[in-house]
Copies of this chain bind each other. A is one copy, B any other.
């Protein structure tokens, strides 16, 4: 059967299988990680990422810097920062250098939370992801996914649809 208007070759079974199992495995992992963070720290994965980043860098970050790598919209980060601030895990304050920016810093409580939650977090990852893998597997995965990641990061965003001109939108 001819696929698509531009003759896009279909994925062969190997590719399909790799794609499905990759997303399925990561999805399962993410779910378990979310559960652990929620149970032991009462925070979401995103909140953990923000706290861990601030705790690791050991200096305040601007909202924009904090958003980098965490794909949020600005308003999304404002929302999350608001939650964390209300919980006493971060503080927000003005910058002496640029009156437009807000500096975000971890509090002692925030730091303590990260440290309390981290062992369980590591345990989940180790148990689910690394236990069934050899050192060789580990390096393969890291190498391969690094290439994929770098490739994606250099790709043009291209968020627009390549075709879609013919049919009316669904429903």
Contact = CB atoms under 8 A, between A and B. Distances in A.
Interface bracket on A? 35 or more
Contacts of A150: 132
A125 to B, nearest CB: 6
Kindly report how many copies of this chain are found in the complex they form together.
Answer: 2
Interface string A138-154: 11111011111111110
A160 interface: yes
Interface stretch (A4-12, A58-66, A98-106): A4-12
Contacts of A122: 3-4, 8, 10-11
Nearest to A10: B122
- Which residue among A116, A125, A133 has the maximum number of chain B CB atoms within 10 Å of its CB? A116
Interface in A71-120: 71, 86-89, 113, 116, 118-120
Interface of A: 2-6, 8, 10-11, 14-15, 17-19, 21-32, 35-36, 39-43, 71, 86-89, 113, 116, 118-120, 122-123, 125-133, 135, 137-142, 144-153, 155, 159-164, 167, 169-171
15 contacts: A2-B116, A3-B118, A8-B120, A21-B146, A22-B141, A22-B142, A22-B145, A25-B152, A29-B148, A39-B160, A87-B171, A120-B162, A127-B155, A128-B148, A137-B147
